[in-house]
DNA sequence: TTACCTGCAAAAGTTTTGCGCCTCA
DNA sequence: TGAGGCGCAAAACTTTTGCAGGTAA
């Protein structure tokens, strides 16, 4: 366990869910010399060790969070806000998938996409925002 | 409506859900001179017109499909198989989210991740496969 | 002409790889 | 000495942008 790795773990914990680049910025605020390569390598290692996990928020960038930090992500593809919801929200769906398709759902790995309560109701959701 | 655009539409329809690169390969099998830039630009245009939509299957690459081609995608992050399920599977969840959080779910935009019936039960899902 | 579409080339952004150096046991 | 971790540079890959030429109304 090197200082760099500890910093990456701390950053993941502090930021909740963040992209490798955000994590790198956070780490560099404490230790400016740390290279982004190290961040990528460390995240890869930590993930293999099961200490962190990554989630796809929809627009390209994977975000990393603690393994324990489990909830469903709701991403508004109008304003980009990421909300969190309890995982038991998915219980019914998970059960149905298991029974009907034999599919074992991993509720935390992907974010659900849609429009949050604060965003205006638009007939056509702008595809630009959902990248 | 140019020949290139028609080819892109055909490719999207034929492939079901495919990445820009796969679509480009398909188009080029009919017209080798077509540039991938054109594919990107055309997909962007078609999406703005509401003729195609894209879905995030989890591992970085967005996939494009016909607008009418609506279902929930189930991605196995062990073998990578993409399964399709009827959207009404999500009705209960969508209703609950709307009521409890005011969140308007877009059921087709993201894929659900997990392990399909054909893949062996592993305690730890290999993070490598879930990129 | 005017507007738009295309192909090519280059740029930009993100992630991975190679390599030499350093540290620590 | 040997293994592993780090930083730097470069490569690889995906997507976007700028530009010049071509086509059609």
Flag whether pLDDT at A27 surpasses 80: yes
CA distances from B1 to A18, B29, B36 (A): 42, 20, 18
Stated length of chain B: 131
| B75: helix, strand or coil | strand
Tokens of A89: 């929200």
Domain borders along chain B are 1-67, 70-116
Protein residues contacting strand C, judged by Cβ under 7 Å: A 19-21, 36-37, 40-41, 44, 60-62; B 2-5, 31, 33-35, 37-38, 41-42, 131
CA distances from A32 to A22, A43, B96 (A): 13, 18, 45
* Mean confidence (pLDDT) of chain A: 87
Fold match between domain A1-67 and domain A70-116:
no
User: According to the model, what pLDDT value does residue B42 have?
Assistant: 97
Rounded to whole angstroms, how far apart are CA atoms B31 and B42? 15
Rounded to whole angstroms, how far apart are CA atoms A78 and A2? 40
User: In this predicted model, which residue has the larger pLDDT, B107 or B37?
Assistant: B37
The spacing between the Cα labelled CA in A53 and the C1' in D16, in angstroms, equals: 30
Chain A residues closer than 8 Å to B53 by CB: 127
User: Given A102, A110, A125, which is nearest B106 (Cβ)?
Assistant: A125
* A-B contacts at Cβ under 8 angstroms: 123
Q: Which residues lie closer than 8 Å to B100 by C-beta, 6 or more apart?
A: none
Q: Give CATH for domain A70-116.
A: 3.30.1490.190
User: According to the model, what pLDDT value does residue B39 have?
Assistant: 97
Tokens of A121: 């109701």
Please check whether strand D approaches the CB of B40 to within 7 Å. Answer: yes
pLDDT band at residue B123 using 50, 70 and 90 as cut-offs: very low
| B45: helix, strand or coil | helix
- For tokens 């293999």, the residue is A48
What is the pTM (predicted TM-score) of this model?
0.87
Q: What's the half-sphere exposure (Cβ side, CA atoms, 13 Å) at B89?
A: 25
Domain A1-67 classification at class level: mainly alpha
Query: Max alpha carbon distance in chain B (Å)?
Result: 52
A76 labeled part of a ligand binding site: yes
User: According to the model, what pLDDT value does residue A119 have?
Assistant: 86
For residue A111, report the phi and psi dihedrals to the nearest 5 degrees. Answer: -95, 150
């Amino acid at each position: 366990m090197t200082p760099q790795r500890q910093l990456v773990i701390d950053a993941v914990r502090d930021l909740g869910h963040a992209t490798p680049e955000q994590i790198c910025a956070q780490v560099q605020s404490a230790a400016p010399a740390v290279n982004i390569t190290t961040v990528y390598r460390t995240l890869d290692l930590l993930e293999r060790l099961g200490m962190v996990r990554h989630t796809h928020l929809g627009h390209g960038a994977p975000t990393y969070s603690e393994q324990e930090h489990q909830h469903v992500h709701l991403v508004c593809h109008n304003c980009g806000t990421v909300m969190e919801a309890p995982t038991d929200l998915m219980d019914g769906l998970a059960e149905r998938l298991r029974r009907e398709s034999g599919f074992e759902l991993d509720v935390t790995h992907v974010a659900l996409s849609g429009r949050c309560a604060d965003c205006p109701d638009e007939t056509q959701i702008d595809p630009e925002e959902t990248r």
